[in-house]
Amino acid sequence: MAKSTGIAGGWATDSSEIVLAFGRLESSALSSAHSIGFVGCLGDLLFGAQQLLSLASSSSNELTLSGCTMGPPKALSAGKAAPKNEVDELKKAEDLEGQKIEEKSTQKPSVPQIPSSQVRPEGACALPLQPHGEREDSAGMRFGLTPNARVEFALPDTLHESAASDFTLELQLRATAANGVIGFATDERHQDFTALYMFEGRPAFAFGDIQAKMNIQSSRSVLDDEWHTLRVEREAGAAVLYLDGRLEAQNRTNLGTIELLQLQSPLYIGGLPPELVPLAARLLPGVKPEFGGCLREFSLNDLALEEPVAEKDIAQCSQFTEQGIFFGKDGGYAILSPQFVVGLSFSFELELKPRTKTAVLLSVGVLEFLSLQLLNGTVKFAVDNGAGMESVIYEPISPNSLCDGHWHQIKIIKKKNLITLNVDGKSNLHIMKKKSTGETSTKDPLYLGGVPKDTKLRGLDTAEPFVGCMRILGIGKKQRRRRNLVDKAMEELTADELTERMNLFGSVSRSACPLN
């Protein structure tokens, strides 16, 4: 598709290769016959009626990839030249564009990758049931191991001046989490922003202010544990997103208020400081403030970003494990206490990074009981004090919200007839029936992550074992972080000591958790 006049395309040959050119032929017999270069817009370029050509991976000069801004050319009478003032304006525009391009370093075309067969199916958890393990080509920085982990780069002064018309960001990523901030910049008053991020396994780009914004997103998931090259370009109200050299998304807005952004240093990569987390939560709903996975090869306006001005809790991409208890796909469970008494009060707090949406998390009791389960992405906390089962349920926005590749915190509290379920800081309360005594009479094994295959326990909607990672934060009669009272034999144990002493069965390891 072409619009306007001049040479739209042609080809030239030498002894070794065929060169396909658009807009102007720099050196050929054809160019001498038609000295006027093409001025206008090109799109939907097909070669041999088969292959869609990408201008992003080509060498280019005087070319804008983020949109077509020229209006239709005015009709000219036959034999008449264009008015001198129009020619002068066009020449000024071409000179300015050429000057801008010369200021940039030469862009290295990214090599398109064939989509991996390991991409997680639609609706699946971000992490696979079977970890990938150690991978080759693991140079880079790993993010997401701790909250607020990030690197910070200074923005060049020229970006403040040209933010309305010229902004590109390119990097390579290997993602293990379905959502999270990849790159973020804002102004001193936190009014304007630009953000590169992951949402539901697909890269996305947004810019604007607190009143209005525009965003675009790739249609392809990158949750395959492979490296991908991501490039975004913004020019005034237009934006484009390329993935592995292929145009994935583009859009334009006519909202003049967001065409000129006043961005200030630094550019945050991989995560955000605590003071910006509320802002990002408002601008990017459902997106975690940290990226999960590896990043490398950062460039801004085609200039490499090599020396960060600050960094926090960054690991090497060659690190493939982290602290935690890992429950493998072949099934297993742990026994925290062989004869556990729940009684009038009980509390339990853990972190988990699931690879499945349905599983037993915690269970104790036969006639009277207490249980905690994942059920198709929801969390159910159930208790029976002798007057029948009662429960409280947490329902996230999406069934995949808790298996998105990030750590999530769950806290349960039973105090007489009051039960509380807290997931990632959001609490649900339930008051049990008054005729209940408030005491849960148990003297049974306290199971973590599953139950024995031949054991049938009341209060469980599923017998599926947990697959993924856990960390015990607190357990006991009182909610205390370092000394958790479980029973008389364990009253002096910390959570770490309890993890070391619990009995493991099946495919369970307390030594380390795989990151991919």
Residue pair 297/231 in contact (Cβ under 8 Å)? The answer is no
**pLDDT for residue 70 is more than 90:** no
The per-residue pLDDT of the chain, averaged, comes to: 79
- Residue at token pair 């249980």: 371
What is the per-residue burial (b if ≥16 Cβ within 10 Å, else e) of 183-222?
bbbbeeeeebbbbbbbbbbbbbbbbbbeeebbbbbbebbb
Do both 484 and 389 map to the same domain?
A: yes
Higher pLDDT, 441 or 242: 242
Do both 306 and 330 map to the same domain?
A: no
Residue percentage of the chain with pLDDT more than 90: 48
Q: 3-state secondary structure string, 180-244?
A: EEEEEEECCCCCEEEEEEEECCEEEEEEEECCCEEEEECCCCCCCCCCEEEEEEEECCEEEEEEC
Do both 286 and 352 map to the same domain?
A: no
Q: Taking residues 363-375, what's their average pLDDT?
A: 92
Q: Where are the alpha helices (DSSP H) in 14-82?
A: 29-33
Do both 247 and 300 map to the same domain?
A: yes
Distance CA 87, CA 74 (A): 13
Do both 250 and 354 map to the same domain?
A: no
Residue 315 within any structural domain of the chain: yes
Count CB-CB contacts under 10 A for residue 100. 15
pLDDT digits (tens, 9 = 90+) for 424-478: 999 998 988 766 677 776 788 999 999 999 888 888 999 999 999 999 988 875 4
| Maximum CA extent, the chain | 102
Do both 90 and 6 map to the same domain?
A: yes
| Closest by CA position to 467, among listed 353, 332, 333, 327 | 327
Structural domain including 313 reads: 141-319
Q: Using pLDDT thresholds of 50, 70 and 90, give the confidence band for residue 484.
A: very low
Burial of 3 (0-12, 13-18, 19+ CB in 10 A): middle
Does residue 131 have a cis peptide bond before it, meaning omega lies within 30 degrees of 0?
no
Residue 382 within any structural domain of the chain: yes
State the pLDDT at residue 483. Answer: 35
Q: Which two tokens stand for residue 366?
A: 């036969």
pLDDT digits (tens, 9 = 90+) for 180-228: 999 999 988 888 899 999 999 999 999 888 788 889 999 999 999 999 9
| Closest by CA position to 21, among listed 37, 9, 36 | 9
Considering only 83-87, 104-108, 209-213, 332-336, which range has the smallest mean pLDDT?
A: 104-108
State the pLDDT at residue 392. Answer: 95
Residue 129 within any structural domain of the chain: no
Do both 382 and 465 map to the same domain?
A: yes
HSE-CB at 460 with a 13 A cutoff on CA atoms is: 24
**pLDDT for residue 269 is more than 90:** yes
Residue 419 within any structural domain of the chain: yes
Residue 133 within any structural domain of the chain: no
Q: Which two tokens stand for residue 445?
A: 């094994």
- Give phi and psi for 79, each to the nearest 5: 85, -5
Distance spanning both ends of the chain, measured CA to CA: 43
Domain finish residue from 319, 345, 380: 319
Q: Give the pairing type, strands 315-316 and 141-143.
A: antiparallel
Considering only 160-164, 266-270, 333-337, which range has the smallest mean pLDDT?
A: 160-164
**pLDDT for residue 117 is more than 90:** no
Considering only 90-99, 261-270, 317-326, 351-360, which range has the smallest mean pLDDT?
A: 90-99
Considering its fold, how many domains does the chain have in total?
3
Residue pair 223/238 in contact (Cβ under 8 Å)? The answer is no
**pLDDT for residue 85 is more than 60:** no
Residue pair 183/287 in contact (Cβ under 8 Å)? The answer is no
Q: Which two tokens stand for residue 455?
A: 């054991």
State the pLDDT at residue 499. Answer: 85
Do both 459 and 487 map to the same domain?
A: yes
Do both 378 and 493 map to the same domain?
A: yes
Task: Kindly report the pTM of this predicted structure.
Answer: 0.76
Higher pLDDT, 165 or 87: 165
SS3 state at 122: coil
Do both 458 and 502 map to the same domain?
A: yes
Higher pLDDT, 208 or 102: 208
Count CB-CB contacts under 10 A for residue 431. 10
The conformation of residue 151, written as its DSSP 8-state character, comes to E
Residue 116 within any structural domain of the chain: no
Q: Taking residues 55-69, what's their average pLDDT?
A: 53
Name the residue type at position 465.
P
CATH of the domain at 398: 2.60.120.200
Burial of 32 (0-12, 13-18, 19+ CB in 10 A): exposed
Burial of 452 (0-12, 13-18, 19+ CB in 10 A): middle
Domain finish residue from 319, 336, 359: 319
Domain finish residue from 319, 347, 365: 319
- Residue at token pair 């009277």: 368
State the pLDDT at residue 213. Answer: 86
pLDDT digits (tens, 9 = 90+) for 303-329: 999 889 999 999 999 999 999 999 999
Q: Which two tokens stand for residue 246?
A: 């292929």
Distance CA 42, CA 428 (A): 56
Q: Taking residues 114-140, what's their average pLDDT?
A: 83
| Closest by CA position to 125, among listed 177, 187, 60 | 177
Residue 30 within any structural domain of the chain: yes
Residue 288 within any structural domain of the chain: yes
| Closest by CA position to 109, among listed 154, 53, 156, 59 | 59
**pLDDT for residue 39 is more than 90:** no
Bridge partners, residue 325, by sequence: 470
| Closest by CA position to 241, among listed 189, 182, 292 | 182
Do both 178 and 225 map to the same domain?
A: yes
**pLDDT for residue 93 is more than 50:** no
Q: Is 119 left (phi over 0), alpha (psi -120 to 50) or beta?
A: beta
State the pLDDT at residue 381. Answer: 96
Do both 299 and 346 map to the same domain?
A: no
